[in-house]
């Protein structure tokens, strides 16, 4: 009798929740249930208005599993979100993107290296490309300013966490390689954004850079943070294609660069000069000059 009641309650659950639940196996080692994932994908394609609910439900399930340290199920949830992001083509995907970015942020905030690596792996080329295409397609601010702002805020939160993790203070060689990988992930992410958003990212980063005085006289962590943020700024700058100098150097951005350069140490000053040269060099002359004749 009890079993029958449970069955009735299950049947009353929204269809999208039942489809999401069915992609998870009894034990995580069995991996994503592919046949049920195909059903969820088909449902998402035929009912795109449900995508935001599907994304939010996947995020909620994964968040609970992160808290319970059931990492196998977290991996399955992330795999499902990746597949839906690549497969679906709809204006309504913007709210799903918000859940996707929240999921990546949640993984990056975790203290577990396995989950942090999962977040960066989820930023494979195809997923980033799909993400940027959907954001560009639905990024018209006149369509829904509230949705645009929410997605933009989620994107900034992901960038902030990438930089924060990369700035972790460690002397280990493996940690330095990990920092470089995260900075490269930031560059890959920025490379698929339109140029005006790259300027936004560079402004976002430079406003987080500790002052040269603080980095020189403060803690070692301050100096490390300044170094990582400047490297991140350089990485994003290399993806920017300067057409008009006035757009590449808004007054606030240029002032911040010059202010940092004023009292910066040797390494920081060299990085700042590379940033300036990168943005000024509209025709890639540096490569030609460096090449032997």
Torsion sign across C-alpha atoms 17, 23, 25, 28: negative
Cα dist. 265→11, 90, 166 in Å? Answer: 65, 49, 21
Encode pLDDT of 173-207 as tens digits: 555 666 676 677 677 777 777 777 788 888 888 88
| pLDDT value at residue 215 | 60
Within-domain flag for 202: no
The answer to the question of residue 241 being in a domain is no
Q: What is the pLDDT of residue 260?
A: 80
pLDDT interval class at 146 (50, 70, 90): low
State the pLDDT confidence band at 36, using cuts at 50, 70 and 90: very high
Q: What CATH number has the domain bearing residue 64? A: 1.25.40
pLDDT tens for 51-110 read 889 999 999 999 999 999 999 999 999 999 988 988 876 566 766 877 888 888 888 778
- Enclosing domain of residue 64: 14-166
Q: Which pair of tokens denotes residue 136? A: 């560009």
Alpha-carbon gap, residue 121 to 119, rounded angstroms = 5
Per the structure, the count of domains in the chain is 1
Band (20; pLDDT cuts 50, 70, 90): very high
Give domain status of residue 254, yes or no. no
CA 191, 66, 167, 204 dihedral sign is positive
Distance linking the first and last C-alpha atoms of the chain: 86
Summarize pLDDT for 215-265 with one digit per residue, the tens. 666 667 777 778 888 888 888 888 887 777 777 777 888 888 888 877 667
Query: Does a structural domain hold residue 279?
Result: no
pTM given for the model = 0.54
In a domain, 112, yes or no: yes
Taking 90 as the threshold, does the pLDDT of residue 126 lie above it?
A: no
User: Residue 55: inside a domain, yes or no?
Assistant: yes
Domain contains 268: no
Q: Please, are residues 158 and 135 in contact by the beta-carbon 8 Å criterion?
A: no
Position 41 scores a pLDDT of: 94
Asked whether residue 193 is domain-assigned, the answer is no
pLDDT for 35 equals 96
């Amino acid at each position: 009798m009890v079993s029958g009641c449970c069955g009735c309650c299950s049947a009353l659950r929204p269809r999208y929740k039942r489809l999401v639940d069915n992609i998870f196996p009894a034990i995580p080692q069995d991996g994503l249930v592919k046949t049920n994932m195909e059903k969820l994908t088909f449902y998402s394609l035929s009912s795109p208005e449900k995508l935001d609910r599907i994304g939010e439900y996947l995020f909620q399930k994964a968040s609970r599993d992160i808290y319970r340290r059931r990492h196998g199920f977290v991996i399955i949830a992330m795999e499902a979100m990746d597949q839906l992001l690549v497969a679906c083509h709809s204006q309504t995907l913007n709210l799903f993107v918000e859940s996707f970015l929240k999921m990546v942020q949640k993984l990056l905030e975790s203290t577990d290296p396995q989950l942090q690596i999962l977040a960066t792996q989820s930023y494979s080329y195809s997923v980033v490309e799909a993400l940027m295409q959907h954001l560009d397609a639905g990024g018209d601010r006149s369509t829904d300013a509230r949705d645009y702002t929410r997605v933009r805020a989620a994107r900034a939160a992901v960038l902030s966490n990438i930089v924060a993790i990369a700035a972790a203070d460690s002397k280990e060689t493996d940690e330095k390689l990990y920092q470089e990988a995260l900075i490269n992930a930031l560059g890959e992410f920025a490379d698929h954004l339109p140029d005006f958003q790259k300027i936004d990212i560079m402004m976002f980063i430079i406003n987080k850079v500790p002052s040269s005085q603080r980095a020189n006289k403060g803690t070692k962590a301050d100096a490390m943070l300044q170094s990582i943020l400047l490297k991140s700024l350089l990485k994003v700058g290399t993806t920017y294609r300067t057409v008009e100098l006035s757009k590449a150097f808004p007054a606030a951005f240029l002032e911040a660069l010059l202010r940092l350069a004023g009292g910066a140490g040797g390494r920081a000053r060299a990085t700042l000069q590379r940033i300036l040269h990168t943005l000024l060099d509209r025709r890639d002359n540096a490569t030609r000059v460096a090449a032997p004749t």
